[in-house]
Copies of this chain bind each other. A is one copy, B any other.
Amino acid sequence: MNGSYSYTPGETDVPISKGLVSIRNLSKKQIESLLDESDRMLSFCRRKDKLDNLGNKIMATLFYEPSTRTRLSFESAMQRLGGGVIGFSDPRSSSVMKGESLADTIRIVSSYSDVIVIRHPEHGAAVEALRNSTVPVINAGDGIGEHPTQTILDLFTIGKEKKKVSGLNIAIIGDLKNGRTTHSLSYALSLFGNSLTFISPKELAMPDDIVAGLKSEFGTDMQISDSINDAKDADVIYMTRMQKERFTGKEDAEAGMPYYNINAKFVSESRNNVIIMHPLPRLAELSPEIDSLPNSVYFKQASYGVPVRMAILDAVLNANASNA
């Protein structure tokens, strides 16, 4: 990759050598290839093999927002592939950058590293980074924007547990208005031909334009509900964090917002082989009593973060090498 890249948001044919800023940049075939590669990386991890695929590469993790989970899995993935890591983990230690534009920071850090992984509180920051970088950029979450590596990880988990990633009925529950995770996931699940049930308080429903977009682009079969009971027929329940602060206090009580919770009773009333997923951290929406049920795959899902990110880093950097 030489020079920076004039990226257009929504662009669908972006080579993986540029990095990964949106799940929409990837074709179905590219995603399938990443899922296959993730499985191969999982075998390596389980055998504790030493890999050196990225032995001469440096990853910069620029975390303008704290994010222990995503950062640690990226850094573990890079090191399991033999690579090195530089970066900052805390917006405060980048305070010297105050006054410096994101563009300038990216120009400089891209000359210190072979790939940039960025988390930033502002929507669009990853695209801005990609436009100014001379190395590939991976979006690790940009505000209410995207978090594409989480989506690959979610698809991978579904594939491992259900042996397929299409033709399933998937209930997505929580704050569907503001959650970047659920937007990207709905897109990817539609691309692979699944039926979706969106469950949220009415005030936090999946935005109309997203629903309309999925309908027109993929003809996705979608149900919209505010009752968690409509998840009982799903093959997959994708629970997200219920921001408790939204649901307590006088105002919210008046708003009458439901507080969703999955407990052992709920699971027993659901499909026998339903799997329960969650991007974590979880609060009270998943009762600890279900942790040991075979249906609860959220910790397994988290554990796939390392092999999936190994596959993504390897694809990005090796595609890059072969294009160089």
- Contact across chains for B93 and A280 when beta carbons are under 8 A apart: no
Q: A66-B96, A76-B58, A97-B68 are in contact. Are A280 and B84 (CB under 8 A)?
A: no
Instruction: Convert A163-195 into 0s and 1s, putting 1 for each residue whose CB lies closer than 8 angstroms to a CB of B.
Output: 000000000000000000000000000000000
The verdict on A308 contacting chain B, using a C-beta distance below 8 Å, is no
Q: How far is the CA of A189 from the CA of B96 in the complex (A)?
A: 28
Select which of B56, B58, B92, B94 is within 8 A of A92 by beta carbon.
B92
- Contact across chains for B58 and A80 when beta carbons are under 8 A apart: yes
The verdict on A162 contacting chain B, using a C-beta distance below 8 Å, is no
Q: How large is the interface on A (under 10, 10 to 19, 20 to 34, 35 or more residues)?
A: 35 or more
Instruction: Convert A48-73 into 0s and 1s, putting 1 for each residue whose CB lies closer than 8 angstroms to a CB of B.
Output: 11100001111010000011110011
> Which of A58, A75, A84, A112 has the most chain B CB within a 10 Å cutoff?
A112
- Closest residue of chain B to A284 (Cβ to Cβ) is B99
- Closest residue of chain B to A56 (Cβ to Cβ) is B50
- Contact across chains for B96 and A93 when beta carbons are under 8 A apart: no
- Closest residue of chain B to A51 (Cβ to Cβ) is B56
Q: Which residues of B contact A212 (CB under 8 A)?
A: none
- Contact across chains for B87 and A72 when beta carbons are under 8 A apart: yes
- Contact across chains for B108 and A76 when beta carbons are under 8 A apart: no
The verdict on A79 contacting chain B, using a C-beta distance below 8 Å, is yes
The verdict on A34 contacting chain B, using a C-beta distance below 8 Å, is no
The verdict on A90 contacting chain B, using a C-beta distance below 8 Å, is yes
Select which of B75, B84, B89, B111 is within 8 A of A79 by beta carbon.
B84
Q: A66-B95, A76-B112 are in contact. Are A48 and B56 (CB under 8 A)?
A: yes
- Contact across chains for B100 and A281 when beta carbons are under 8 A apart: yes
Select which of B69, B92, B105, B112 is within 8 A of A96 by beta carbon.
B69
> Which of A50, A56, A113, A303 has the most chain B CB within a 10 Å cutoff?
A56
Q: How far is the CA of A94 from the CA of B303 in the complex (A)?
A: 19
- Closest residue of chain B to A321 (Cβ to Cβ) is B48
Select which of B69, B95, B108, B306 is within 8 A of A280 by beta carbon.
B108
The verdict on A202 contacting chain B, using a C-beta distance below 8 Å, is no
The verdict on A302 contacting chain B, using a C-beta distance below 8 Å, is yes
21 A-B pairs with CB atoms under 8 Å apart are A49-B56, A58-B79, A60-B72, A66-B93, A68-B88, A68-B93, A69-B108, A72-B86, A72-B88, A76-B84, A76-B112, A79-B86, A80-B84, A89-B93, A99-B283, A100-B281, A107-B302, A108-B299, A108-B303, A111-B302, A111-B306
Name the 8 nearest CB pairs between A and B, nearest first.
A111-B303, A79-B84, A50-B56, A100-B281, A90-B93, A76-B112, A75-B86, A108-B302
Beyond contacts A67-B96, A97-B281: 12 other A-B pairs, Cβ-Cβ < 8 A, are A50-B56, A66-B95, A68-B93, A72-B87, A72-B109, A72-B112, A76-B84, A76-B86, A76-B112, A108-B280, A108-B299, A112-B306
